[in-house]
Amino acid sequence: MPTDSAKTLNLWKKQLGRVPEEVWEQTWLESLILADNGLTEVSERIGQLRNLRMLDLGHNALTRVPEAIGQIEALSDFLYLHDNRLTGLPESMGALKKLRYLNISENSFAELPSAVCEMDGLVELRASDNAIAALPECVGQLAQLRELHLRNNRLVTLPDSMGELRELRQIDLRGNPLTSLPKCLTQLEKLDKIDLRWVTTLEESLCMETLRARGCLIYW
């Protein structure tokens, strides 16, 4: 039985260029850090690492995520995909039902991938610094979500299905060209912070007044 330390492989900033094949043979791994290695691709063999709970692929040059990542159903703690060149995610990722934290910030997403909506165990979703122009109605399926970070996208408004996110505490909408906020936000009893700084296109609304009156902090 591997020790706890042997279950973690930290290859952060090793200038790998590509992942050594022997990594995929360490099927006992629970934590794998491959950040900041100039990776342009990741082998489908990653699906062999069925015990992974945390995977860090951030700060690379990935243009796609392997389909096999959906086979790692043990992923529950963190999945970092930020600061890559991604425009989409494989549908297979919808199988990651246990995942609590997903970071897809600093990529080139024009829309929130539908697979994300299937990941209904998410507690925190970070999708800042992309080119997302609208959220899909399916975002309302993320019933466990507490934090939603969407800074510096192209959002003009939010879908009515946001009203289904009953566990939501915080929304970061800084730097979006918002023109309105949906009334459904007033239904979110646990919502205590909305960050609207650097939003210059929004006017005071009844929705904002209602949220403030019940104690929600609005930074604007």
CATH number of the domain that 66 lies in?
3.80.10.10
Q: How confident is the model at residue 54 (pLDDT cuts 50, 70, 90)?
A: very high
Residue 15: half-sphere exposure toward Cβ, Cα within 13 Å: 0
Both 144 and 197 in one domain: the answer is: yes
3-state secondary structure at position 83: coil
- Domain co-membership, 36 together with 61: yes
Residues 20, 85, single domain; the answer is: yes
Q: Is residue 97 part of a domain?
A: yes
Average pLDDT value for residue range 70-95? 98
Has residue 113 been placed in a domain?
A: no
Cα separation, 53 vs 149, in Å, equals 22
31 in the same domain as 101: yes
pLDDT at 4: 76
Average of per-residue pLDDT across 60-69: 98
**Residues 141, 163: contact at Cβ < 8 Å?**
no
What is the longest distance spanned by two Cα atoms in the chain? 60
Averaged over 118-137, what is the pLDDT? 98
Nearest to 20 by CA among 3, 47, 42, 49: 42
Rounded CA-CA distance 128/156 in Å is 15
Task: Give yes or no for residue 2 having a pLDDT over 80.
Answer: no
pLDDT at position 1: 53
Number of domains in the chain: 2
Distance CA 194, CA 146 (A): 12
Query: Does one domain contain both 94 and 199?
Result: no
Answer yes or no: is pLDDT of 6 > 90: no
Query: Looking at the domain assignment, is residue 35 inside a domain?
Result: yes
Instruction: Supply 114's token pair.
Output: 């539908």
Cα 41 to Cα 62, 131, 157, 172: the distances in Å are 6, 22, 34, 30
Per-residue pLDDT for 70 more than 70? yes
Q: Inform me whether the pLDDT recorded for 153 exceeds 90.
A: yes
The whole-number pLDDT of residue 142 equals: 98
Per residue in 188-217, pLDDT (tens digit) is 999 999 999 999 999 999 999 999 999 999
Domain with 177, as residue range(s), is: 134-220
- Could you tell me if 88 and 156 lie in one domain? no
CB 178 within 8 Å of CB 151: no
Residues 1 and 99 in one domain: yes
Residue 53 binned pLDDT confidence (cut-offs 50, 70, 90):
very high
> Which residues contact residue 48 at a Cβ distance below 8 angstroms, ignoring those fewer than 6 apart?
24, 25, 27
The one-letter code for the residue type at 185 is L
pTM (predicted TM-score): 0.97
As a whole number of angstroms, the distance between CA 12 and CA 35 comes to: 5
Q: Has residue 176 been placed in a domain?
A: yes
Do residue 26 and residue 128 come from a single domain? yes
- Are both 172 and 93 inside the same structural domain? no
**Mean pLDDT, the chain, integer:** 97
| DSSP one-letter code for 79 | E
Distances in whole angstroms, Cα of residue 27 to Cα of each of 31, 34, 141: 11, 16, 32
Q: Is residue 127 part of a domain?
A: yes
pLDDT confidence of residue 194: 98
Q: How confident is the model at residue 171 (pLDDT cuts 50, 70, 90)?
A: very high
Same domain, yes or no, for 32 and 128?
yes
Length of the chain (residues): 220
d(Cα 67, Cα 137) in Å, to the nearest integer? Answer: 24
69 and 170 within one domain: no
Same domain, 88 and 193: no
5 three-class SS: helix
In a domain, 116, yes or no: no
H or E segment to which residue 103 belongs: strand 101-103
Read off the pLDDT of each residue in 56-74 and give the average, rounded to a whole number.
98
